[in-house]
Amino acid sequence: FKRNELKFLLDDEQFTNLMPVIHQYMNPDAYCIDGREYGIYNIYYDTADNYLIRTSLEKPYYKEKIRLRSYYSPAKPDDKVFLEIKKKIGGIVTKRRASMTLEEAENFLMLGKIPPKSSKFIQNQVIDELITFLNTYHVYPAQYISYQRSAFFGKDDKDFRLTFDRKITTRRYDLSLSEESYGSQIIKPDQHLMEVKIIGAMPLWLAHALSELKIYKTSFSKYGRGFKDYTISKMADNGLYVNTRSSSFVYNSNPINGRPVVADIGFALK
């Protein structure tokens, strides 16, 4: 599918005030049983030098990423998971995914063992795309990200989706979906990441509600934020000062002349 994805960070008060409007125009999706949240658990894969996320953070016209997703935690070897390629071209997001067991997915990603052919044409087509991707990039497990999600779809437009994510948890160790969900949080406890997923224009009722509640669009990537936080922490551990407003970091001082030393990290840590 192709769509625009607009992102907003809400506090608890904004979230509480927005929900009556959401329920008026939207229904919970099938995963929100009895209106409850559900968990999403991901492993993002990247090259050894983090090429995919570093490129993404530069906000190019075209970017792509690959992730392995489960709706179970911890996942068992025979549990169904989804291997996804997500691309963004000029602001339009496309996502393609193939289903397989966790064991098949890990063997495919790390050993090059292609999953069995499916009777579904789309599944086989996505597998072919994944093969091309993996032949282009030599990727490894890079980052774990999980969160609790509430999701809704429009009563009058099933293609209009809206999600709220909280407890966004990340780590760069124990990188397997067979592990429990644990790590550091990348948004505040009282924050909710809202994503509006639309093909055309935003509905007027939602635009008016966001304006009244002073909810404004932001740029936010879960993988990107987790990588930035990791980068800042790693630099601090090595005695570096990070300039978060530019794409540079500074050594505390040059050991020879005592002057600051500036180096480029390739993206702004905003």
Whether residue 52 contacts residue 144, with contact meaning beta carbons closer than 8 Å, is answered with no
Please tell me the distance from the alpha carbon of residue 229 to that of residue 186, in angstroms, as a whole number. 8
- For the cut 70, the answer to whether the pLDDT of residue 87 exceeds it is yes
Domains of the chain, each with CATH number or no CATH: 2-220 (3.20.100.30), 228-264 (no CATH)
Q: Which of 61-65, 100-104, 156-160, 170-174 has the lowest mean pLDDT?
A: 156-160
Whether residue 220 contacts residue 168, with contact meaning beta carbons closer than 8 Å, is answered with no
Greater pLDDT, 258 or 166: 166
Please tell me the distance from the alpha carbon of residue 134 to that of residue 109, in angstroms, as a whole number. 8
Greater pLDDT, 218 or 258: 218
pLDDT computed for residue 251 by the predictor: 43
Mind listing the pLDDT tens digit for each residue in 179-189? 999 999 999 99
> H-type helices in 30-170, by residue range?
51-57, 102-111, 121-136
Whether residue 205 contacts residue 71, with contact meaning beta carbons closer than 8 Å, is answered with no
Mind listing the pLDDT tens digit for each residue in 125-177? 999 999 999 999 999 999 999 999 999 999 999 999 999 999 999 999 999 99
162: amino acid identity, one letter: L
72: amino acid identity, one letter: Y
For residue 260, what pLDDT band results from cuts at 50, 70 and 90? very low
- The whole-model pTM stands at 0.89
Question: 3-state DSSP call for residue 265?
Answer: coil
Whether residue 152 contacts residue 27, with contact meaning beta carbons closer than 8 Å, is answered with yes
pLDDT computed for residue 242 by the predictor: 57
- Residues forming beta bridges with residue 166, ordered by sequence position: 148
pLDDT average, residue stretch 209-236:
93
% of residues, the chain, pLDDT over 90:
79
Please tell me the distance from the alpha carbon of residue 206 to that of residue 215, in angstroms, as a whole number. 11
pLDDT computed for residue 270 by the predictor: 45
- For the cut 60, the answer to whether the pLDDT of residue 266 exceeds it is no
For residue 250, what pLDDT band results from cuts at 50, 70 and 90? very low
Can you say whether the dihedral through the CA atoms of 198, 199, 201, 204 is positive or negative?
negative
DSSP-derived letter for residue 75 is P
| 98-135 burial: b if 16+ Cβ within 10 Å, else e | bbbbbbbbbebbeeeeebeeeeeeebeebbeebeebbe
Please tell me the distance from the alpha carbon of residue 231 to that of residue 228, in angstroms, as a whole number. 5
